């Protein structure tokens, strides 16, 4: 669950929180694409360091670290998979290059997790919904999206209560073999799903009775308008993208193993 | 017997829900825990069956420290009926729902059959035996949840907000039912906001505020003490308020239930006639 904690928004005021979510999203998207495009450790390291000022400015260091900690399991898995596959392909020999490649893949994953963590930690679901709406995405989809995001913590709380209620009736989740353990979760999942469906029906009725969809064109209480800081971030984003394209085309990026002249 | 010694509890998110609670509940006692939302009532009773373990201090159930045993072990002795029945109902029939805990505790088939029939009868649910619990009304679902706990005959029964969403007739049934449990020498603990219900049941009241006990005594003592009630933001029952506003004509102020009110008024009228 700690991984999700690292994506959960908390209302704080900081320069990063106040940025226009659309531009922030483009920024994160650029980092995402670049992390996928570059397969060398140096540019990935650059992308990672680039995010640190954002974490510090937004004062979400603790939550950000928690999301990275939550990603450790997958990171180790990615490292081992890459390493083992290349190990087998290379004919059962270990080279420094192989380790570097496996590490690069893992680091790429970390960069991706980190960028999304920053985005979701500093963007409230409301503002995100507003951004979607102003990007001319049909209101039905925006509403479904923000509602889904908003109900995640509610569902998590409810799951905990249900678990307590069933434990109070003598259910032991950690008992028995693997199959039995999976079956142990039926008394948790059934009430959780039934309640979620019931709640969604109630929500639909509540929305309809508050004239949901009465007019084609909705107006909003808040309107997103890019500020000076937003233009600055937009400029940074374009600059990074331009630099990346230049490097990708004209500069050969050395590997660490080449720099250190480690062979085999 | 439940014994709580200087219990403190802090939730993982840092909220300090209990700040030093000590109390003793004897076997066969009937206790109502009252107080505002967030006073720590539910947090306290969740310690009685080990769902929560103390951050500091100790909770003993029949001399056993709850830190040393699993919830399942404690649950055998302490039955806990949650506020919302929809948080526990999941089976295809009422019968299976009631049998669920019995199976968890490892009762044999014959005993399960017997206990299920007994519990269904007790709560007037026999005609719904094969019905899906999801098809029942809110009040009926609440009774199924209650039956599913009482089926294993726990020594202590904890009821979290048992009167919420119940009409007056159902509340009266619930009151009679609690009295019936008491004749069976069970310890009953209810967590509630319902002063009228408490005034009619007359249990021992434990009044909580901000994770501490502010008063502990008989229903009559506490419900007729305006200062204490004000402190815990509890409004006295209507009967008590009525008598309070009539004190100028010479009526006593320590009346909490209808029968007592009737007696007092008759007596008062008799005196004024003379």
Encode pLDDT of A94-147 as tens digits: 888 888 889 999 999 999 999 988 998 888 888 888 888 888 888 888 888 888
Nearest to B119 by CA among B101, B106, B136: B101
Name the closest residue on chain A to residue B147, using Cα atoms: A169
Q: What is the CATH number of the domain that holds B43?
A: 3.40.50.300
B196 and B218 together in one domain: yes
**How far, in Å, CA of B122 to CA of B143, rounded?**
10
In a domain, B30, yes or no: yes
B215 and B268 together in one domain: no
Kindly list the distances between the CA atom of residue B41 and the CA atoms of A79, A157, B1, B38, B159, in Å, as whole numbers in the listed order.
Answer: 48, 18, 19, 7, 12
Q: How many CB atoms are located within 10 Å of the residue B157 CB?
A: 22
Query: Which tokens is A75 given?
Result: 């990171």
The pLDDT assigned to B8 comes to 96
A197 touches chain B (CB under 8 A): no
In a domain, B27, yes or no: yes
Q: Domain containing B274: what range?
A: 237-274
Residue B274 has pLDDT above 80, yes or no: no
Chain A residues within an 8 Å CB radius of B142: none
pLDDT in tens, B238-251: 999 999 999 898 88
pLDDT in tens, B117-131: 999 998 889 999 999
Residue pair B222/B205 in contact by the 8 Å Cβ criterion:
yes
ipTM of the complex: 0.87
Q: Which of A169, A171, A185 is most worth mutating to test chain B (most B CB atoms within 10 A of its CB)?
A: A169
What is the nearest CA distance from B262 to chain A, expressed in angstroms?
42
Question: Any idea which of A131-135, B32-36, B100-104 has the lowest mean pLDDT?
Answer: A131-135
The pLDDT assigned to A1 comes to 44
What is the pairing mode between strands B204-209 and B156-160? unpaired
In a domain, B13, yes or no: yes
Q: Which residues of B make CB contacts under 8 Å with A?
A: 46, 49, 51, 70-72, 75-76, 79-80, 82, 84, 86-90, 100-101, 104-105, 134, 148-149, 152
In a domain, B201, yes or no: yes
Residue pair A169/B148 in contact by the 8 Å Cβ criterion:
yes
The pLDDT assigned to B205 comes to 96
In a domain, B63, yes or no: yes
Helix count and strand count (H, E) for chain A: 12, 0
Cα-flanking dihedrals φ and ψ of residue B241, to 5°?
Answer: -60, -45
A174 touches chain B (CB under 8 A): no
Report chain B's mean pLDDT, rounded to a whole number.
92
Q: Which residues of chain A have pLDDT under 50?
A: 1-2, 264
In a domain, B205, yes or no: yes
In a domain, B245, yes or no: yes
B8 and B56 together in one domain: yes
pLDDT in tens, B171-192: 898 899 899 999 999 999 999 9
Domain ranges of chain A: 2-123+226-259, 130-208
Handedness of CA A244, A249, A254, A256 (dihedral sign): positive
Q: What is the DSSP string of A59-113?
A: T-HHHHHHHHHHTHHHHHHHHHHHHHHHHHHTTS---HHHHHHHHHHHHHHHHHH
The pLDDT assigned to B253 comes to 87
**How far, in Å, CA of B228 to CA of B35, rounded?**
11
Residue B36 has pLDDT above 70, yes or no: yes
The partner residue sitting opposite A169, judged by closest CB among B70, B84, B148, is: B148
% of residues, chain B, pLDDT over 70: 99
Residue B225 has pLDDT above 60, yes or no: yes
**How far, in Å, CA of B41 to CA of B35, rounded?**
7
The pLDDT assigned to B212 comes to 94
Mean pLDDT of B51-59: 95
Cross-chain residue pair A162–B100, CB shorter than 8 Å: no
Cross-chain residue pair A168–B71, CB shorter than 8 Å: yes
Structural domains counted in chain B: 2
Query: Using CB atoms within 10 A of its CB, is residue A225 exposed (0-12), middle (13-18) or buried (19+)?
Result: exposed
In a domain, B47, yes or no: yes
Name the closest residue on chain A to residue B146, using Cα atoms: A169
């Amino acid at each position: 669950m700690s991984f999700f904690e690292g994506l959960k928004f908390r209302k704080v005021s900081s320069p990063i929180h106040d940025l226009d979510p659309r531009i922030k999203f483009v920024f994160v998207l650029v980092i995402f694409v670049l992390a996928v495009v570059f397969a060398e450790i140096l540019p990935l390291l650059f992308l990672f360091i680039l995010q640190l000022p954002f974490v510090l400015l937004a004062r979400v260091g603790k939550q950000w670290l928690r999301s990275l900690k939550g990603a450790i399991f997958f990171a180790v898995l990615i490292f081992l998979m890459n390493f083992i596959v290349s190990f087998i392909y290379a004919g059962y020999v270990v080279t420094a290059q192989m380790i570097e490649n496996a590490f690069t893949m893992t680091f790429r994953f970390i960069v991706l997790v980190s960028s999304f963590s920053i985005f979701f930690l500093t963007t409230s679901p409301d503002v995100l919904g507003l951004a979607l709406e102003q990007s001319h995405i049909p209101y039905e989809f925006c509403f479904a999206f923000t509602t889904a995001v908003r109900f995640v913590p509610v569902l998590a709380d409810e799951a905990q209560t249900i678990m307590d209620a069933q434990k109070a009736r003598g259910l032991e989740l950690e008992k028995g073999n693997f199959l039995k353990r999976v079956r142990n979760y039926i008394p948790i999942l059934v009430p959780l799903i039934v309640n979620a469906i019931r709640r969604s029906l109630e929500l639909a009725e509540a929305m309809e009775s508050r004239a949901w969809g009465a007019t084609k064109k909705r107006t909003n209480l808040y309107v997103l308008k890019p500020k000076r800081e937003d233009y600055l971030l937009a400029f940074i984003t374009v600059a990074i993208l331009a630099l990346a394209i230049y490097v990708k085309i004209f500069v050969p990026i050395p590997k660490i193993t080449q720099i250190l002249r480690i062979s085999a | 017997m439940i014994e709580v010694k200087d219990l403190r509890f802090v939730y993982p998110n840092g909220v300090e829900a209990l700040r030093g609670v000590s109390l003793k509940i004897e076997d066969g006692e009937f206790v109502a825990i009252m107080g505002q939302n967030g006073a720590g009532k539910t947090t306290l009773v969740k310690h009685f069956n080990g769902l929560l373990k103390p951050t500091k201090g100790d909770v003993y159930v029949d001399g056993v420290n709850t830190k040393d045993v699993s919830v399942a072990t404690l649950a055998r002795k302490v039955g806990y009926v949650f506020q919302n029945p929809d948080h526990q109902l999941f089976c295809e029939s009422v019968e299976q729902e009631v049998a669920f805990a019995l199976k968890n505790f490892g009762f044999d088939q014959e005993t399960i059959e017997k206990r299920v029939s007994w519990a269904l009868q007790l709560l007037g649910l026999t005609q719904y035996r094969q019905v899906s619990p999801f098809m029942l009304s809110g009040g009926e679902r609440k009774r199924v949840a209650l039956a599913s706990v009482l089926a294993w005959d726990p020594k202590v029964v904890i009821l979290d907000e048992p009167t919420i969403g119940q009409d007056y007739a159902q509340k009266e049934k619930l009151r009679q039912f609690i009295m019936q449990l008491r004749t069976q020498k069970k310890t009953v603990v209810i967590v509630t906001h319902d002063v009228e219900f408490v005034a009619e049941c007359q249990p021992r009241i434990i009044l909580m505020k901000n994770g501490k006990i502010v008063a502990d005594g008989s229903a009559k003592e506490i419900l007729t003490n305006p200062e204490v009630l004000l402190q815990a933001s509890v409004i006295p029952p209507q009967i008590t308020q009525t008598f309070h506003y009539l004190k100028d004509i010479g009526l006593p102020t320590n009346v909490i239930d209808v029968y007592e009110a009737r007696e007092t008024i008759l007596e008062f009228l008799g005196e004024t006639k003379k």
